[in-house]
Structure 1
């Protein structure tokens, strides 16, 4: 006996049916996906507005060390940071050697055998980012003013401190949570891009393995002569009775100054009177038209143009404007070359 499969008019064998559990998960994740994303161009801390969008793009710092217990070996962790958007994967690099999509700060570990000058990939550590659709983890960016810090080291310093979350290594339930603490220090003489190393591995084909490991030895230079973006430390710390891998960076830039976005009269970054006037006028006009249309519909049963209050005037408005413009042009041009005399 052969069974026949039938389909209703609203379904087909190729129709896409989203499981209810998956749909519910996406629905619940959507609001957090919107609210969790970091907007580098609009950071507000205690009524102070900071715009870090000039620091957009992927930037790199390196942590190079030679362990005493493994002579002849060198370890390099390259941290790639993009404050404004998620990092892109590198062409030709296996996906297991990259951090997952949604990552904004990624650390990639390599080891190098100095005598043979050969290197080997070890691990890719997602430090911070938005992974709402993968595991519901978000960047949860929190910002504080350096001058509000209780630490004596921050006394007299101006800027902001950002704490960025979301990463976990390894990416399992028992993995260690990761976070980045970036101190944006006010330095009016710096843009924040001094000595910058961008993530341009696709184009950088002439570097030898030794140069790739050694080119960041200047990270420990004095801050007045070295790079604006500096690596401070990466280690596991106990925070809130929980072990977390913490990356600490320092970024000196004029965009971290509290007066960086204030123009004459300290009005920059705020809506002026004219802007508010236009907004209020638009809202009042919209409310008048909506209420008037509703009133005409319910009281007189009006339809079409008759719904709008003063519908005849609105319908004739283009012609009225055209007639007014013609009169203005005639007034400006004057009576012509006759000097005001009419023909006899």
Structure 2
């Protein structure tokens, strides 16, 4: 019978094995930091299904589980632990009705709920595809759709392509909800054209994005596979670290060292001591002028004391260098 303490000792290793640490990815003795790509990113697949238009929004977060959206029904969102989620909406231009028809958890960590692990796999493109492409190939698993005994397993394959001109976050600055609302309106006007058999021109919801949709279909062993490409400089093997930014007027203090702060603190302490001591001498003894300053007599005599100290030091150095009138034989 296995010792339960052994299981507890192995638990951290098990957790580390199924977790994708974006900040520390080491493959074939090469290090990658993808933490700058963290956060939810959306991409779309659109299809014309007369009389409706299908729009599947795929949301991915490489670095952490997707957070639940406030104000959205839980049935219209993927379960907790999801890293890649697909939500299909259908819009009918005739009556203007939009509804969510499917929610597909494609990849994530579902060990505690369904017993399926994300089991991430990261490889270099040069090794996985035997090409000169520079970048990474990341596979994320754990999803199932539908969530039944006969449901198909799901996974996402993201190819991060080296592009030194792109960060990978381009195209995600706009409000996603505003973009979709405007696009649905354009689709409705296009669908009301003279030719009912002509497909409406679907707007490009992902124009300018570094992340692009490739395909979503059943592949080997009926596994639903979502394929994406992502152009980013963080997938470059020879990427140099960005130089430190020069401190601006608003954050010059960020570059101050320990010695600078030490001088400032000492100065503030001395100033506080003089101010408090002066107030104390004035309130207690009614002192004026130099008598206000604590140890004013000592401060007045400080130049002379320094002069005597320097003179005495010089005399000692001269006497120390003399051999008392004797010379070596």
Task: Give the corresponding residue for 2:67.
Answer: 88
CA offsets 1:277-297 (integer angstroms, 9 cap, x no match):
xxxxxxxxxxxxxxxxxxxxx
Task: Give the corresponding residue for 1:102.
Answer: 81
Matched, 1:336 2:313: no
Residue 174 of structure 1 and its aligned partner are, at CA, apart by 2.2
Alignment match of 2:28 (pick from 28, 32, 46)? 46
Residue 166 of structure 1 and its aligned partner are, at CA, apart by 0.8
213 and 100 in structure 1: CA distance in 2 versus 1, 3 angstrom threshold? farther
Contact kept in structure 2, 1:102 and 1:129, CA below 8 Å: yes
After TM superposition, the structure 1 stretch with the greater mean CA deviation from structure 2, 253-262 or 104-113, is: 253-262
Task: Give the corresponding residue for 1:281.
Answer: none
189 and 177 in structure 1: CA distance in 2 versus 1, 3 angstrom threshold? same
Find the residue that maps to 1:147 and give its secondary structure: helix
Distance 1:94 1:56 in 2: 25
Residue 199 of structure 1 and its aligned partner are, at CA, apart by 7.7
Residue 52 of structure 1 and its aligned partner are, at CA, apart by 0.6
CA offsets 1:64-105 (integer angstroms, 9 cap, x no match):
1103xxx22100100011111110111111111110000011
Distance 2:204 2:180 in 1: 20
Q: Which runs of 5+ in 2 are unaligned?
A: 189-200, 244-305, 317-329
User: In the TM superposition, what are the counterparts of 1:4-43 in structure 2 within 5 Å?
Assistant: 32-43=14-25
User: In the TM superposition, what are the counterparts of 1:1-344 in structure 2 within 5 Å?
Assistant: 32-67=14-49, 71-150=50-129, 155-196=131-172, 207=181, 210=184, 217-218=203-204, 226-238=208-220, 242-260=221-239, 336-340=309-313
Q: Which runs of 5+ in 1 are unaligned?
A: 1-22, 265-332
Distance 2:19 2:54 in 1: 32
Distance 2:202 2:67 in 1: 22
121 and 334 in structure 1: CA distance in 2 versus 1, 3 angstrom threshold? farther
Distance 1:212 1:173 in 2: 41
After TM superposition, the structure 1 stretch with the greater mean CA deviation from structure 2, 192-201 or 135-144, is: 192-201
Contact kept in structure 2, 1:37 and 1:138, CA below 8 Å: no
Distance 1:61 1:139 in 2: 21
**TM-score under structure 1 length normalisation:** 0.61
Contact kept in structure 2, 1:74 and 1:111, CA below 8 Å: yes
Find the residue that maps to 2:204 and give its secondary structure: helix
CA offsets 1:86-135 (integer angstroms, 9 cap, x no match):
10111111111110000011000111101122111111111111112112
Which entry has the higher C-alpha Rg, 1 or 2?
2
Residue 231 of structure 1 and its aligned partner are, at CA, apart by 0.4
CA offsets 1:209-235 (integer angstroms, 9 cap, x no match):
7169899933676xxxx3210001101
Contact kept in structure 2, 1:192 and 1:229, CA below 8 Å: yes
207 and 158 in structure 1: CA distance in 2 versus 1, 3 angstrom threshold? same
216 and 164 in structure 1: CA distance in 2 versus 1, 3 angstrom threshold? farther
Find the residue that maps to 2:55 and give its secondary structure: strand
**TM-score under structure 2 length normalisation:** 0.63
**Corresponding pairs, count:** 236
CA offsets 1:231-289 (integer angstroms, 9 cap, x no match):
01101111xxx21000000000000000125699xxxxxxxxxxxxxxxxxxxxxxxxx
